[in-house]
Chain A
Amino acid sequence: MNTIVNIVLLLSAVLFIFGLKQLSKVKTARRGNTIAAVAMLLAMVGTLLELQLKIPGMNYTWIVGGLVIGAVIGAVFAIRVAMTSMPEMVALFNGFGGLASAIVALSIFWKRVVEPETAGTVAAVLGTPPAVTLGLSILVGGITFTGSIVALLKLQGTLKKGAPILLPGRHLLNILLGISAIGVGGWFGFGATELSVSITSIIGLTAISLVLGVLLVIPIGGADMPVVVSLLNSYSGIAASMAGFVINDPLLIIAGALVGAAGLILTQIMCVAMNRSLANVLVGGFGVQESGPQGSSEYSGVTSCGPEEAAMLLESAQSVIFVPGYGLAVAQAQHTVRELASLLEANGAKVTYAIHPVAGRMPGHMNVLLAEADVPYEQLVEMDVINPEFKNTDVSIVVGANDVVNPVAHKDPASPIYGMPILNVHHSRSVFIIKRSLSPGYAGIKNELFEYDNAMMVFGDAKKVLQGMINEFKEL
């Protein structure tokens, strides 16, 4: 029986790898997700059987209670959330995963050290490796939890509208906290011989981890949150792996390590897309200007027009490129964009969508939104492919994107976004920029594009403006 259970667990590990592999290809992605879910089910059933065999008086009250309540909450969240809030949802779930790993470590400590009331240091009772990994699980899990919650608040814009929060002496503070985490963790594992001291130090370690999670994420601007969430996703995998070391569970170690590696790769891909190093992102403060935010954000010579003027120009356009950004998600304008695109196509124009790798608040965010509105996959064109096309394009319509179309990234080495690859919308004959105001994007800088002669602002909520264009277009 034991062998069968172990084979089930091994099968689960193999299916996790298989599922991840399929998740990374468009054709098989959905099946890959299902395979990973099956792997999870096998892991859960296998582990319960294993525990049942090992522990004769096994009681399921807490397990079943946690499963039922967790499943209901998770399902309600997942089904109710709007597609536009997906990044926030991933951040929240991720935080819960990290929290769970930290709590597992705490629980194991109480179960194996506090409640049996064994004498001696934690390392003497559990062994050196579990004493270390227990502390690491709490540290990494705690950072993941509060870091993800701060990321969630920044994505929502509720926390200072996502702007970086820079505490004086923050680097020193973080270093001191890091050192004290190591000190308290070391004391917990190897110094404290009395239970009351071990308990105090583990609570101290938990508190430090939670504070550290907040402090590490608050200086980072809202635009960098995808990178942060991806990195925290990697952390939650590592935290799970560490918990796996504590209870000596190979499957937990394997699955945690897979996620740790996956999160890191994605993080790297995102940094490359922004032409920044991970260190540069994590130091934070990006987009905060020394000269004050107002100083360089004054515009001159900006032209603006209404939907009717835009519709007239669109009527004669042979080729149109839509450039979606976060504003599209906020305004829930994906269906309206699609409707306008269909009208233009019926009018004989060639319509495509230019997808910047970091448009929106999550890589692939725009793809998800436009897919929801049934935009054909072939019309979504990646940056490197579409950039040469702009100079042959009649009209580009920027819907709620800002920093990713700012030509200053090519021109001004002093700009914080210098060197970031952008979509060359300014090469097209005319550019409409649908935006609520001239306020800066997440990088906090002025967008030169708005002053270009071929650029015209169409102020307003993206959905209303697009609807206005549709109505005017129909009347032409």
Chain B
Amino acid sequence: MTGGDPNRVIEAVWRIEAGRVIAGLARLVGDVGLAEELAQDALVIALEQWPQSGVPDNPGAWLMLTAKHRAIDLLRRRSRYEQKLEEVGRDQERRHADVDAEAALDDPFGDDVLRLLFTACHPILSTEGRLALTLRLLGGLSTEEIARAFLVPEPTVGQRIFRAKRTLSEKQIKIELPPPAEIPARLASVLEVIYLIFNEGYAATAGTDWMRPSLCEDALRLGRILVGLMPKETEVHGLVSLMELQMSRIAARTGPDGEPVLLLDQDRGRWDRLLIRRGLAALDRAESLGTLGPYGLQAALAACHARALAPEETDWERMAALYLVLGHVAPSPVVELNRAVAVSMAYGPARGLEIVEGLRAEKALRDYPQLPAVRGDLLARLGRTAEAGKEFERAAELTRNERERTLFRRRADALQPDK
């Protein structure tokens, strides 16, 4: 290997291999924290050796072999209860002596990685702990990178990871696939973690530090990995489709001054056609595998926009119907509010307003700025401008987003010219 900073080369290899190496080691030593330490040790040795020796031909296997040697050393060094641990050490060696590193990494079905992913996303862990551990163990991100992405101090992330690992070991959580009966609930937790990572990045796409939006790419990468590991799960394809389709709009979501651009006002020429194509293909697979779940349905909704080359080509009837189904599968007043918008586009503002009126008593939406904003928009379309103006004022009061506030105020002023 010539050219390029060796440290950055190693970092790149690490990013590609970390998940598999840690997952393979976790299988060997039965402990996530220890597996990560060993993998880190191997990384340090690589940082020392590769700049001189060059990057080995199979860097993943090299890291695995080195880490495995460390594992055996460690088991020996820890032999305070000599006999007992020596037995463990011999046992480890006996079990693995004939397994060369390549075979140890050879995980054709990705079961090691899948086991590690289910463990990192174990519901026993706090949400923050699951996010940090997943990015760290499977995304190959450093603690510092995670901290920057989540806008929290590095020691905080370190603590979250430390506590998550400690919980796993205290509660004696085995690194294994959940039994079939538990798969749906456990998979939901994995999908939730991936989508939370994605949303953390998506919400930040207007920011200045691109480290945060790159979380979207990390989440998509995890999702695509999961698709390879669980190709028969419709919701896995559904989530990937949803993320690909949302990601396709990132460039169009903000205007030249960083202001948010509403979906229907976006320049569709800036939507990423490759990601749309991938998202639609993933949705097809999700549909072919079974009934769409909440992620698949949200992807189907996103697809209605993606398929329309212009806003007026949007299939609002289909969207209204999909929101109705989504409302049954995953009831939420926000979904219902979105349905009201789709219904108003498909069947007129009066029909939409009927739904919105039913939501005004909803506690969960009491301080939700989109409720008065949607109501204001529907009232304006019905010619009830004075009422509409008041609703936009209310929306402007409620929102915590400066740019959104400007947007709402502008609409309020336009509707109440005399004020």
The reply to whether chain A is a binding partner of chain B is no
B interface with A by C-beta (< 8 Å): none
